[in-house]
Amino acid sequence: MSILIIQLPARKRLSAEAAASDGEVASTSTAPKEYSYVLSVDGSSIARQGRCTAPMLPKADSTVAVLSATDLSWHRLTLPKAPAARLRAALASMLEDALLVDPEDMHLAVAPFAKVGSPTWVAACDHTWLTSQLMALEKAKIRVDRVVPGVSPDEPPSAYFHELHESGETTNDTSAEALLTWSSSDGVATWPMTGSLARVLMPDPLPVQARFFASPPVAAPAERWLGRAVTVQSQSEHLLLAARSLWNVLQFELTPRSKGLYAVTDQWRRIMGPQWRPARVGVLALLATQVLGLNLWAWQQQHLVKSKRASMTQILKQAHPQVVTVLDAPVQMRRETEALRAQAGQAGGNDLESLMAVVASAWPPEQPTAGLQYDGAALTVMPPAMWGPAELDQFRSKLSAVGALVETTDGRVTVRFATPS
């Protein structure tokens, strides 16, 4: 299942000079001209990477958008007990004092597997800006299935040195601001590498288990600033790692609503995703076991049938040595037995003598029949006029006890023995 991972460019922020001259809050940036992307066929390796405009992005089974670390704020709170329809309003009320803007202008997302009454993380970003980014991709027929943070609170602590390009355009400008993003179980914070703010706010001493990563353009400055070696992590590797996150910022009003073919496609993508691979392997193994078991059972039954046919053939040849060619052992056995019985002068099951004897055993005394007819295989008698349904049922039950078949048609009773199949 192929996955397209797109880096959403950082939201353009108004400089202090521009804010002083305009005296207004900057509006959200327009859609970027180009996107950095990674295409993976299994979610673990990079099959293709690059930068291009939205219409030129490669097609994939699933699309994940990654938010820059500077576009999310993180807030720790206790998840309130509220209905799903009112949870967003309850979170906005709890974050009213923590956010610098109106909570209604922010999009909120709750950490995966959050439990009511337990502390959890809530991510917040500009709602209008995020919606415009999704609409720009939707216009290019890129349907985003998940939006994940580039960096989220996690353990062990990690420092990520990276550059920030706000425009999203392909340029050769190397003057992009270098930033340090520090993430731990206490949250995520991003500071500029220039100045002393980052050194003041970084833990001192640094945790022993801390990890340090840097994008290639800022790897050397990061090592000089940190005084230790860092692991170089390209943007493509960073995007691939971020896409494995369990987070999905598309919640509440931005939850994808699938209908019709989209719903079926989404379910198929989810099932074919990497997280469902163990289940798929288990189902395939179960099916393979069932098919193998059915084949073994069929082979066993076929072997049993062949052995029984061989036994019947052997019995036929032992009982009737004159039979040379065996085509159907049961039929030939019955035919040869009937022939021997006829030669011995013994009555068969559907002979007149046998049928007369069995009818006489069940016939009421001193009630003669009104008619009698024998066609070589069945005996038809006419019951007395005084017989009613009760007498017929009694007669039938007595004959059924000895294995005879009784049929009633137009006031006539036909008696025969079932012919062996």
Q: Mean pLDDT per segment of 10 residues, for the chain of length 421 residues? A: 90 55 44 82 89 92 92 94 91 88 91 93 94 92 93 93 66 65 93 89 90 94 92 94 93 76 62 77 92 94 91 86 82 79 64 77 74 77 77 81 80 75 45
Residues 226 and 109 in one domain: yes
Longest distance between any two alpha carbons in the chain, whole Å: 129
Q: Same domain for 264 and 299?
A: no
pLDDT for 209 equals 93
CATH number at residue 390: 3.90.1070.10
- What is the C-alpha separation between 338 and 33, in angstroms, rounded? 96
Looking at residue 90, its pLDDT comes to 93
Tell whether 139 and 122 lie within a shared domain.
yes
Q: At what angle do helices 352-362 and 389-401 cross, to 10 degrees?
A: 120
The answer to whether residues 240 and 179 belong to one domain is yes
Asked if residue 240 lies in contact with residue 40, where contact means CB atoms within 8 angstroms, the answer is yes
**Domain endpoint, select from 325, 343, 361:** 343
| Number of domains observed in the structure of the chain | 3
Instruction: Name which of 137, 145, 6 is nearest 66 in CA terms.
Output: 6
Residues 268, 400, single domain; the answer is: no
What sign results for the dihedral spanned by CA atoms 330, 334, 339, 340? Answer: positive
What CATH number did the domain enclosing 118 receive?
Answer: 3.30.420.380
Strands 379-382 and 371-374: antiparallel
Q: Are residues 92 and 240 in the same domain?
A: yes
Judgement on whether residues 15 and 108 belong to the same structural domain of the protein: yes
Q: Which structural domain range is residue 337 located in?
A: 280-343
Listed residues 320, 343, 366: the one ending a domain: 343
Q: pTM of this prediction?
A: 0.60
Residues 6+ apart with CB under 8 A from 357: none
Same domain, 69 and 200: yes
Q: Is the dihedral of CA 253, 259, 261, 263 positive or negative?
A: positive
Same domain for 97 and 156?
Answer: yes
Query: DSSP strand E in 203-260: where?
Result: 211-214, 231-232
Do 246 and 98 lie in a common domain?
A: yes
Select from 314, 343, 372 the last residue of a domain. 343
Q: Identify whether residues 48 and 134 lie together within a single domain.
A: yes
The answer to whether residues 304 and 358 belong to one domain is no
